[in-house]
Structure 1
Amino acid sequence: MSEDFLSASEVDLFLDWLDKVRIGLWLGFMYLEKGFYPIVPKFHIKKRIGQKDRSLVVYEFTTPDKGVQFSGVNIPCFAYNPSCFALSINNYLFLNTSHDFLYSRSLGFPYPNKVSIDESSGAYMIELEEGLHKVRNNLSRIPFISGGTEIYQPLIQEEVKNVDEYKHEYIQNNTLNSNSNRGSIFFRDYKSIQKLNEDEEICLSPSSSMDRDQFMKTFTRDLLMRQVNLCIVLK
Structure 2
Amino acid sequence: MTIRVLLADDQVLVRAGFRSLLDAQPDVTVVGEADDGRAAVALARQLVPDVVLMDIRMPELDGLAATRMITEDPVLAAVRIVVLTTFELDEYVFEALRSGAAGFLVKDTEPAELVRAVRAVHNGDGLLSPGVTRRLISEFAARSKEPEESAPLARLTEREREVVALVGLGLTNSEIAGRLVVSPLTAKTHVSRAMVKLGARDRAQLVVLAYESGLVRPGWLG
TM-score of the aligned structures, taking structure 1 as reference length: 0.23
Structure holding more strand per residue: 1
Which one has a larger percent helix, Structure 1 or Structure 2? 2
Q: Which has the higher contact order (CA 8 A, sep 6+)?
A: 1
TM-score between the two structures when normalised by the length of structure 2: 0.23
